[in-house]
Amino acid sequence: MESQYEIPAKTKATHILYYILHAGFLYKYPDTCRASYQADYHRLANSSWTARKVEEYAELEANSIPVVGGGINPAHFYPAKVPKEINVLTMGQPKDWKGHDTVKEACQIAGVGCQSYYGMGIEQNKMAEEYSRARVFVVGSWFEGWCQPAIEAMACGVPLVTTDNGGIRDYAIHESNALVVPVKDPQAMADAIRRLLDNEALAKKLSENAILTARRYLWSDVTKLFESEVNKICLN
């Protein structure tokens, strides 16, 4: 099993970087994941949660994996001036661990409709308009390495309700720029949705703070951080 992760003898690469995007053992193939994490690669993770989960699972030294999170393109994700036509928007990817059933149940409890954009084929440069049409964006995932849709919605100024799925802990702060609820808890999610729909002042505060938060994760800055980590590897 582990031999498939050895650096090929004929490779011209002097360094191999493994950018870990998720704690993959939470899905399937735990032995394969452990072997890949323990291979003789340089490691980098996309969130603090991913890094710590991988270190623990693969029995690596604590805090040994550097972190460079995801980012957003401000040309594609910004508060678009469009009518608020959707009460609750979600990604809606049909995988159990994405928690779409929790989101649907929460919306039923809250008495509001829910719309998803998964599979609609919306072009990237139109996503700001899609997000901005929503009064609330909801993430229902059980776990996420980073959770790109959440930070995109925040960049668009859409108040966020998200599960405490791991990856969002680097940027989503409960009651400050988002409402964070337990995983698999439709009642708590419904309560959070209703709070934002019924409390304009709270929604406005979270929206404004979310935009400021997202500005810390611009692609131009994230790529510089990534380049810096690569340079550190190459100098070793």
- Each residue of 113-163: pLDDT tens digit? 999 999 999 999 999 999 999 999 999 999 999 999 999 999 999 999 999
Does this model's pTM top 0.95? My answer is: no
- Whole-angstrom Cα Rg for the chain: 19
What is d(CA 62, CA 17) in angstroms, rounded to the nearest whole number? 19
pLDDT, one tens digit per residue, over 156-215 is 999 999 999 999 999 999 999 999 999 999 999 999 999 999 999 999 999 999 999 999
Contact (CB, 8 A) for 69 and 170:
yes
Residues in the chain: 236
CA distances in angstroms from 27 to 39, 142, 186, 195, listed in the order given: 20, 11, 22, 33
Whole-number Å distance between alpha carbons of 84 and 106: 20
pLDDT of residue 1: 34
Give the C-alpha distances (Å, rounded to integers) separating 169 from 47, 158, 233: 8, 18, 26
Torsion-angle region of residue 147: left (phi > 0), alpha (psi -120 to 50) or beta?
left
pLDDT-derived band at 3 (thresholds 50, 70, 90) equals very low
Write down the pLDDT at residue 11.
Answer: 61
- By C-alpha distance, which of 181, 177, 180 is closest to 204? 177
